[in-house]
Structure 1
């Protein structure tokens, strides 16, 4: 079709008048809530492990898995390896078969993966099950933001994609709360003594595993180490709601236009736009004009895009953004907060319960980020949050160096002589860190990754960036317990602080402002500027 843009608009107007909505009207808010159940599952499945790990360290006879520090890291690492693969596959499959279709498949993966993890009989099975569950988490992390970004009106786009981040941290809070409830009901990790060579405990005594683990040669006959299975099985329930809910939602109109399916795009868009408030004709015409321009150019793919200078610049930027977001150390707080709190002097049960504050701070921070993105630019929100979390990492380093290390004995345990307020300073710093992270880099990265890539490769390029994110997350997750045991908290958090000082400088220099632009305008600006990201 060689018609001019005005002729195309007239043709689309006629088509819009003839084409009814493809199904029942759905409010964009409802679509966001349903799609963001994928984010909730993402959050629950990644956060629940923090409370489960202390029980998994217990002996097999007590219901645990006898984890070492390396195996503890691998429990998280296999999930994140699956996330990396799932992000790439999710992006490609959503480009080929549709965003909505992909989310339906992910709901099934969430359900069966969660059950497999909860009933894993041994570590090898656990690793495979965590990898499968990771496929669902990774797929959701790349598909849901794109689906929301493409479905939302431009004035609501930033807020709705940020809702996904809010649902992720809400899922994590739900996981921490469930862990705390189970820990309160079951008690912290405890085991029944079978034989204690030290003579401290009689046979048949039920003792906290924190105390027994330090006794050489102790054996146990029973315990409450099975509690981690209850924590993990709950993950399967929201997956059912996601599968049912997404079936009632329309496919992305932009995905239909990319396939030349104008009638289907109009029908889908009419289901989620308010008549008299949103101009469907103009919106579809802009999508169609962008598609026509793409047809005139070389056919884009992710591999081909890396050979095009302006696209390569954007893809590299997206990957760097993803790496730096994970090098904040956020997931060391999410997966290992109880371990950090135990290093600060709390027992395992108190650490699991106090971890709820981490989840509450995440939700508050994410809600603040959502509101901030409605009022301020992406760049401003990002920089403020990044500065807060960087200062928190510096404070964490100082607390361990000056407040905790002087009270660590030869046995590696924190002395009872430590001032009582010092361990609580660690809780305060974790809360401040999560407020900064979840109000800044957390939502902004997901919003911007859903915006900066061209429509023709949006799913694949977003999947690539998210794959890089999950690989970085996996490396940090596997290495954190090893670093904590090997070089200690001071060096570990000093390293994270140094990296994030660099991140503040990088963001100030490189991050564009995309708030006021449509997705098509963002693509045009990047193309015209040769990939130099100058939007402000």
Structure 2
């Protein structure tokens, strides 16, 4: 069991110079997260139109090809996060994000103009490469630019942009479906994703490379120049540079997977990162995001009303993430995760009871929707922002890209497993599926309580030393 003692949080006054510049960097980088959110949300509105026969403007999708089109992005994301982790360690976070903006654009154009199902599946996979790459690279880039006192809230903006992208997708899907009479309306839905892709590329042209990555390549003069832009005092610059130099002396003796496999405490960190991906996905969050209309129509609610409720999911997720960003600067990571899992377990048990014991009708539909929205409120407020923050904090500098990429890739695999297994579980177990999720999350709560170190309030270099000491104990 690891120590649960919270280190003292920074009480330094706001740093205007650092705040302004790093905030601009965060906005530029999180265009990748906005594209990530939009691309994962838009498919729910596009699929019904894509399922129309080719002669009426669709692609003639059947249940099998619907699954292939939907899941291609998830599996592409798993590969993309793995590849981006290695590339970002070798070529830098900024350069990797610049390349990913091009992959985003290729994927968007490919899906928009896809003439066949096969081409759509291939292009959704390409789009997934960019989505996964951004999910692994953006939090690391922001964390390495931000100081300890701002890291939590700036990295958490990544989650805010993801859920904002999903909400924008839900709203635009509904608006285009209502106002456009074109049989090709699904192509317009998909084409809008080009906007954040272009903004990501333009943004990366205007920001510097990560000083920590530059230092890992012994480019100390360039690292100093970047730090002087984002830190308010020479004392801060010298302190961070000294920590980077000290770590480099140790870390350049270790490289790649040999360092992971041969270093027990780093192996433990990787397993914790993979475990956190399981925790985040087996809450069942994407089962709710993908299948809320199906859950609600099973209670007797009409199809149009159920689709409208999906917008409610997006609204609650955005509001909850705003609250989570505020809380994350005040509370410990472990405290937020444990509290969030407790509320998630209660919401899932309540939903299972509503579906199992209440008679079909409007009251049952509203009760089920209330349980789903409560689940999403606590999930997006207390769990999702903390997951992405921890992915930016846990791993040592010389292996941060590859380990973050590996952990996030596993998270995408868990995402795909939930999306694949949830309909089968509903068909086999019915409402009891949600009690199964609740049971899984009890195990997740135990994992967090016994295995996760607290990371709040330390610089990335100080955190690395702290984690090594904790996990070697």
TM-score normalized by the length of structure 1? 0.81
Match of 1:440 among 377, 382, 386: 382
Tell me the distance in 2 between the aligned counterparts of 1:299 and 1:305.
9
1:53-97 deviation per Cα after TM superposition (whole angstroms, max 9, x unaligned)? 333344444444444444333222211111011001101101001
1:488 CA displacement = 5.7
On the 8 A contact 2:22/2:230 being kept in 1, the answer is: yes
Indicate the residue corresponding to 2:15 in structure 1. Answer: none
Q: State yes or no: 1:289 paired with 2:231.
A: no
Q: Between Structure 1 and Structure 2, how many residues are aligned?
A: 456
1:165-191 deviation per Cα after TM superposition (whole angstroms, max 9, x unaligned)? 11111111111111121233259xxxx
Q: State yes or no: 1:513 paired with 2:454.
A: yes
Tell me the distance in 2 between the aligned counterparts of 1:492 and 1:64.
34
1:531 CA displacement = 4.0
On the 8 A contact 2:81/2:132 being kept in 1, the answer is: yes
Match of 1:46 among 40, 62, 86: 40
Quick one: structure 1 residues 302 and 334, their matched pair in 2 at CA, closer, same or farther if it must change by over 3 Å? farther
Match of 2:409 among 467, 477, 482: 467
On the 8 A contact 1:76/1:474 being kept in 2, the answer is: no
Instruction: Give the secondary-structure state (helix, strand or coil) at the position aligned to 1:27.
Output: helix
1:303 CA displacement = 4.3
On the 8 A contact 1:183/1:349 being kept in 2, the answer is: no
The RMSD of aligned alpha carbons is 2.1
1:17-38 deviation per Cα after TM superposition (whole angstroms, max 9, x unaligned)? xxxxxxx996111111111111
Tell me the distance in 1 between the aligned counterparts of 2:202 and 2:320.
30
1:176-187 to structure 2, matched below 5 A, reads 176-186=170-180
Match of 1:307 among 253, 262, 265: 262
Quick one: structure 1 residues 474 and 134, their matched pair in 2 at CA, closer, same or farther if it must change by over 3 Å? same
Tell me the distance in 2 between the aligned counterparts of 1:351 and 1:226.
23
Instruction: Give the secondary-structure state (helix, strand or coil) at the position aligned to 1:120.
Output: coil
Indicate the residue corresponding to 1:105 in structure 2. Answer: 99
Indicate the residue corresponding to 2:438 in structure 1. Answer: 497
Q: Which structure is higher in helix share?
A: 2
Match of 1:453 among 376, 395, 398: 395
Task: Report the structure number with the largest CA radius of gyration.
Answer: 1
Quick one: structure 1 residues 395 and 226, their matched pair in 2 at CA, closer, same or farther if it must change by over 3 Å? farther
Indicate the residue corresponding to 2:50 in structure 1. Answer: 56
1:88-167 to structure 2, matched below 5 A, reads 88-167=82-161
Instruction: Give the secondary-structure state (helix, strand or coil) at the position aligned to 1:177.
Output: helix
On the 8 A contact 2:300/2:361 being kept in 1, the answer is: no
Q: State yes or no: 1:357 paired with 2:306.
A: no
Tell me the distance in 1 between the aligned counterparts of 2:286 and 2:320.
15
Instruction: Give the secondary-structure state (helix, strand or coil) at the position aligned to 1:487.
Output: helix
Q: State yes or no: 1:525 paired with 2:455.
A: no
Tell me the distance in 2 between the aligned counterparts of 1:337 and 1:235.
23
Indicate the residue corresponding to 2:418 in structure 1. Answer: 476
Instruction: Give the secondary-structure state (helix, strand or coil) at the position aligned to 1:286.
Output: helix
Match of 2:287 among 332, 336, 339: 332
Q: State yes or no: 1:253 paired with 2:211.
A: yes
1:518 CA displacement = 1.6
1:369 CA displacement = 1.1
Question: Please, which runs of 5 or more residues in structure 2 have no aligned partner?
Answer: 1-17
1:307 CA displacement = 2.7
Quick one: structure 1 residues 383 and 338, their matched pair in 2 at CA, closer, same or farther if it must change by over 3 Å? same
Indicate the residue corresponding to 2:187 in structure 1. Answer: 229
Indicate the residue corresponding to 1:415 in structure 2. Answer: none
1:162 CA displacement = 0.7
Q: State yes or no: 1:240 paired with 2:181.
A: no
On the 8 A contact 2:453/2:467 being kept in 1, the answer is: no
Indicate the residue corresponding to 2:12 in structure 1. Answer: none
Tell me the distance in 2 between the aligned counterparts of 1:531 and 1:53.
50
On the 8 A contact 2:301/2:362 being kept in 1, the answer is: no
Tell me the distance in 1 between the aligned counterparts of 2:219 and 2:19.
20
On the 8 A contact 2:355/2:364 being kept in 1, the answer is: no
1:342-375 deviation per Cα after TM superposition (whole angstroms, max 9, x unaligned)? 3333333333222111011111111111111111
1:4-83 to structure 2, matched below 5 A, reads 27-83=21-77
On the 8 A contact 1:306/1:312 being kept in 2, the answer is: yes
Quick one: structure 1 residues 483 and 60, their matched pair in 2 at CA, closer, same or farther if it must change by over 3 Å? farther
1:392-471 to structure 2, matched below 5 A, reads 392-403=347-358, 418-471=360-413
Tell me the distance in 1 between the aligned counterparts of 2:438 and 2:388.
22
TM-score normalized by the length of structure 2? 0.91
On the 8 A contact 1:84/1:466 being kept in 2, the answer is: yes
Tell me the distance in 1 between the aligned counterparts of 2:284 and 2:428.
16
- Structure 1 residue ranges (4+ consecutive) displaced by more than 6 angstroms after TM superposition: none
1:453 CA displacement = 0.8
Question: Please, which runs of 5 or more residues in structure 1 have no aligned partner?
Answer: 1-23, 188-223, 407-417
